[in-house]
Structure 1
């Protein structure tokens, strides 16, 4: 797999990373054996940048990864996160004591004495981001984290944080159907030498083959109440994406690989982290970094899925809490 740098001071990693949120059961039932097989497939494909968080399954995702690391000792770059305190009511805590306590808990589950990237999962608006970065900088000095990142933030927050201590990565949702980062975040990261980590680059399963069916989702799947997956939005989105699916098939690409290739080609500093809980779905992405679009391909993709084509917001009002909006 091709390699990209995780921020100007960070390690080189596979251009495609792996998001481990599904290991926590948020999108359906999973088990440790299937998760271990998925990580095997990731390594075999050259995917060595793994992203998790303390709240994914309330520690399940970190535990699974930690057990895999203990059993196999692979050379991988790890990212995890803190800052979201589950409810009810859900809240955010970026205090120094909370950040340190959650990091210590994560390292224990991951069977690591350090992670290469530690994110603030959501920013606590009442607390100056400069104070938060001072805490993260101290963890870097202590050797507990290699660098820090921010998630779902605005360009102004990135600049304020970076002025205190260089930021290694910013993680926001980005794909063919979610384009808001193009309004400043992607450009700010490129200017400052920060990696832009694109989560949900496969539109939460809509760019799969076949795409996800909301009627088949389990009762706890949060997509069941997500605006883009409820009717009439889901039918409209499915119809639009099916045109792209047909385009990819005619080229000999899976829909997932073509969608991922598009994200990769929006900037050399962009690292997408598609997620899944099965090796079979992961294998649909293989080769995305080798796809090259011709000018005609780019024109056709823009015609089929123009910016803003998606029906419905990417989050409901309840799901949007904590996300910085800047446009």
Structure 2
């Protein structure tokens, strides 16, 4: 697998997002999750991303039981489960969450530690200072920010260098192209792209609207609610036809498009099952292919916002 730089390490150009192990997209079980992690390792994936909020620790526990030490591991803190859901970025909370995560992960160190969401009334310089102390203490290898504006990244990076910024980025979520990708490149910060397959919309087969209410958060997500859901399926259908004509898998082409947007971008698709990993073989796209994809799926084609109002509460908006 192609290698890309993440802080002072080289990792595979594609990582693995473990949110679904916590049941965010429907029921799963530990045995299936462990088999999925084994398949990811066999596929050459070496960067694994989780968070304390995924299943309220379940995702971290599974990775801890998996037990591989030769992988690059990232986790996050900052979101406080509700109701109401809120965020905390104070040093006491960050340290407490880190110790809890390390216990679940069965580690004394994590390679990358993110602030999952920014607390607006805590100066980002203070947060960067906390993370710097954790690096110096050997608790974390580097730190990251998630869903922040380029201006926030600049302020944090000036206080202590940021390793990575995580943001949703895919064919139908392109906000990072309006400043974040460029700022990350300028500052030599990796951009870790979560949901690069559109939460299943760019999966092997067209999605069916069979989301379990109260379990799968897509059930109330604007892009997956009618009439937006059907409109998005129709918009993506010509892209599926293009993939079939060119011999690409749909996920492989979607991942290739993300990778082509910058050599500092590392997508982290997720899945609950080993079976879906076979579809992640990255398509070989040339300039003509990229142009064809952009004609079929131009920026802004998606129907509906990527999050509902409650989920957008602590996402920084800059455009």
- TM-score (structure 1 length as normaliser): 0.96
When structure 1 is superposed on structure 2, of 130-139 and 245-254 the one drifting more is 245-254
CA distance in 1, matches of 2:34, 2:181: 33
Structure 1: gaps of 5 or more residues: none
Matched position secondary structure for 2:310: helix
Deviations 1:205-241 (CA, angstroms, capped at 9, x unpaired): 0001213222x11122111111111111111110111
CA distance in 1, matches of 2:225, 2:181: 29
Contact residue 248 and residue 258 of structure 1 kept, 8 A: yes
Of 19, 32, 35, 2:33 maps to 35
Structure 2: gaps of 5 or more residues: none
Name the count of aligned residue pairs.
318
Matched position secondary structure for 1:64: helix
Displaced runs of 4 or more, over 3 A: none
Is 1:143 the equivalent of 2:143? no
CA distance in 2, matches of 1:13, 1:110: 20
CA distance in 2, matches of 1:322, 1:257: 31
Q: CA deviation at 1:74?
A: 4.4
Determine the structure 2 residue equivalent to 1:186: 181
Q: CA deviation at 1:295?
A: 2.5
Determine the structure 1 residue equivalent to 2:276: 281
Is 1:96 the equivalent of 2:100? no
CA distance in 1, matches of 2:206, 2:91: 42
CA distance in 1, matches of 2:161, 2:286: 36
Q: CA deviation at 1:162?
A: 0.1
Matched position secondary structure for 1:114: coil
CA distance in 1, matches of 2:299, 2:13: 24
Is 1:323 the equivalent of 2:315? yes
Determine the structure 1 residue equivalent to 2:286: 294
Is 1:217 the equivalent of 2:215? no
Determine the structure 1 residue equivalent to 2:113: 118
Contact residue 18 and residue 49 of structure 1 kept, 8 A: yes
Contact residue 227 and residue 314 of structure 1 kept, 8 A: yes
After superposition, the CA RMSD in angstroms is 0.8
- TM-score (structure 2 length as normaliser): 0.98
Determine the structure 2 residue equivalent to 1:249: 244
Of 46, 52, 66, 1:68 maps to 66
Residues 104 and 74 of structure 1: is their aligned pair in 2 closer, same or farther, counting only changes over 3 Å? closer
CA distance in 1, matches of 2:207, 2:312: 22
